[in-house]
Amino acid sequence: MTDAPPTSPSPHPTAPPTALTVREITEDDLDGWGRAYSKGNFVPYRTASLERRRGVFEPGRWLGA
């Protein structure tokens, strides 16, 4: 329950800090959002996911950075 230190060192220790924006995504962002999600989870992106995500998308609850 306390913060444990990261188990691995940063893979990009010299990466320059970039300006970071977090925002609620819109339906138009769903394709890019899905691609980032797949990349982050090391799973192949399937175009069929887009339709499924449209079906469950709730504006205001899905965020992207």
Partner 1 sequence: MGTFRGLALDLSVPGGALLPVLGVSSLAVVPSHRRRGILSALMAHGLRAAVARGEAAAVLHSAEYPVYGRYGFAPATRHGGFTVDVTASGGLRPDLDTSATLREAAPEEVRRFGPALFDEARRGRAGAVSRPGWSWRRRTGAALLPGEEWEAPTVLVHRDGAGEVRGLVAYTVDGKWSDRVPDATLTVTDLVATTAQARRALWAHLLSVDWVRRIEVPDAAPDDPLPLLLRDPRAVRPLPHPADCLWLRLLDLPAALTARTYPPGLRLALRVADPAGHVDGVWLLRTGADGSAEVTPDGGPADLALDAAALAALHLGGEQASRLVAAGLATELTPGAARRADTLFRTTAEP
Query: Which parts of this chain interact with partner 1 (CB under 8 A)?
Result: 1-7, 10-12, 15, 17-18, 20, 22, 24, 33, 36-37, 39-41, 46, 48-49, 52, 56, 58, 60-65
Closer to ligand COA by Cβ: residue 26 or 43 = 43
Residue 18 is a binding residue for ligand COA (CB under 6 A): no
Nearest to 62 by CA among 30, 21, 24, 18: 24
Give the Cα-Cα-Cα angle 27, 50, 64 (nearest 5 degrees): 50
- Distance, CA of 43 to CA of 4 (rounded, Å): 27
Residue 21 is a binding residue for ligand COA (CB under 6 A): no
